[in-house]
Amino acid sequence: VTEGPLVGRHVVISAGGTREPLDPVRYLGNRSSGKQGYALAASAARRGARVTLVSSASLPVPGGVELVPIETALDLQREMNARAGDADVIVMAAAVADFRPAEVGATKIKKKFGAGDPEAPTVELVRNPDILAGLVEARGEARRPYIVGFAAETGDADGDVLHHASAKLERKKCDLLVANEVGAGVTFGQDSSTVHLLRPGREPVTVGPADKNVISDTVWDAVQEELL
């Protein structure tokens, strides 16, 4: 695509869940499908951007998009940080595991340990870095890259979700926060969702329920308004 509002821009998007290994065959994961991040990548590519998608999801890669495969939060952090300097826009749509197993078994964890051992192992977890916070901090006072965060909120009323999301926008200090309501059967793995776009000093904009492609187009419309 040689024409469009994002021609000449490099956008780097993370999508899907991370997988934190316990041993060579098992991992801790989450329900993120990657669909929203992939839809954002496809939409940006249609608008002429050079798109890098950093993801563990196994969805078809949209045409013209470069995929950087990752597994863990630490992989994702390394790949995002390596590309931040060249990015005009960063979108952290990935559901990053907040914790990972402290130790990764070199061999498969067995059901039986031996006489006197406990019935079941205990998995110790350690904190993963907040990748989004690191990207915002590394940018410092610069206005580039424009940084978009996502917030998956569980709430029973929209008011709740908005309340949590605006607090999160202040904490995360990103330029745009896309907040969506999640829960079993809501958003994760679905083709549509309802989101709120929050920007500092602006009224929130609600989109949906709408197809994730429609939501993606609204997100890029909002981002384009702010690009220098």
Residues that bind ligand C5P (CB under 6 A): 73, 92, 94, 96, 98, 128, 130-132, 149-151
Q: Which is nearer to ligand C5P, 27 or 150 (CB)?
A: 150
CB atoms near residue 112 (< 10 Å) = 7
CB nearer ligand C5P, residue 74 or residue 227: 74
**Residue 132 is labelled as binding a ligand:** yes
- Find the shortest distance in angstroms from Cβ 142 to ligand C5P: 19
**Residue closer to ligand C5P, measured from CB, 75 or 130:** 130
Residue 149: CB minimum distance to ligand C5P, A: 4
What helix, strand, coil percent values describe the chain, rounded to 5? 30, 30, 45
The single residue listed with the structure tokens 């997988």 is: 19
Mapping DSSP to helix (H, G, I), strand (E, B) and coil, where does residue 41 land? Answer: helix
Check the annotation: does 88 bind a ligand: no
| 92 or 197: CB nearest ligand C5P | 92
Helical pair 73-84 and 131-139, crossing angle rounded to 10 deg: 20
Is residue 180 part of the annotated active site? The answer reads no
Has 129 been labeled as part of a binding site?
Answer: yes
Four-CA torsion 46, 47, 48, 49, nearest 10 degrees? -100
Identify the burial level of 68 via C-beta atoms within 10 angstroms of its C-beta, where 0-12 means exposed, 13-18 middle and 19 or more buried.
middle
* Nearest distance, CB of residue 19 and ligand C5P, angstroms: 14
Instruction: Give dist(CA 96, CA 203) in Å, integer.
Output: 27
Consult the annotation and say whether 209 binds a ligand: no
Q: Is 150 annotated in some ligand binding site? A: yes
Annotated binding-site residues read 98, 108, 129-132, 150, 168, 172
Q: Which residues are catalytic?
A: 30
Annotated binding-site residues for CTP read 98, 108, 129-132, 150, 168, 172
